[in-house]
Homo-oligomer: A and B are copies of this chain.
């Protein structure tokens, strides 16, 4: 049976697997989902029983086709809702994630496709994440890198902001950074202690936390994000 909990688990498992290519650990999920490690083991057994994931005791979790499909459907709903809430209902950049986190589980495919159509079949959500189409296919996305891997002195465009923390997004809004902002990296501090970036004529010192949430692409001809 499909439940809100399972959808949330699968979404995170899938995303993490895409990111790392490796089996997902109990500790990672416990941390992300804010539950005990025992709860993860428990759910892993149940998801595996439904063939949504492959679970090997002590060796982590991988998604199976059925789980992948479900995860992508939920991700699609999440991202379309975020854009809809921002563009149509004028909610704040920092608010839409939490709202979408709930709506994604109570929206029929039919409604979602209406919203997709209403928005003109968008390819990216307000945080720069790609929106899979109704067949589960993600749009081609130009390569991106973390701000932490950038070269000092160079100019970049912000192409993605990790939406995991409301505070981070709020802070960025406050200092005037948004998707598409062109920034110049002045300094990357070692040991993940943050960075100095220039946005227009304003120089900002940002924490390691904030820096890690920012993803960029070289600021040049390329229009694709």
Contacts and interface: CB of A to CB of B under 8 A. Distances in A.
A114 B91 contact: yes
Interface of A: 85, 88-91, 95, 99, 102-103, 105-108, 110-111, 114-115, 118
Contacts of A105: 106
Contacts of A108: 99
Contacts of A103: 103, 106-107
A106 B111 CA distance: 15
B102 A85 contact: no
A115 B102 contact: no
Nearest to A85: B111
Given A85-B111, A90-B114, A103-B103, 9 more contacts: A88-B118, A89-B111, A89-B114, A89-B118, A91-B110, A91-B111, A99-B111, A103-B107, A105-B106
A90 B85 CA distance: 17
Nearest to A92: B110
Contacts of A106: 102-103, 105-106
Contacts of A102: 106-107
A86 B81 CA distance: 17
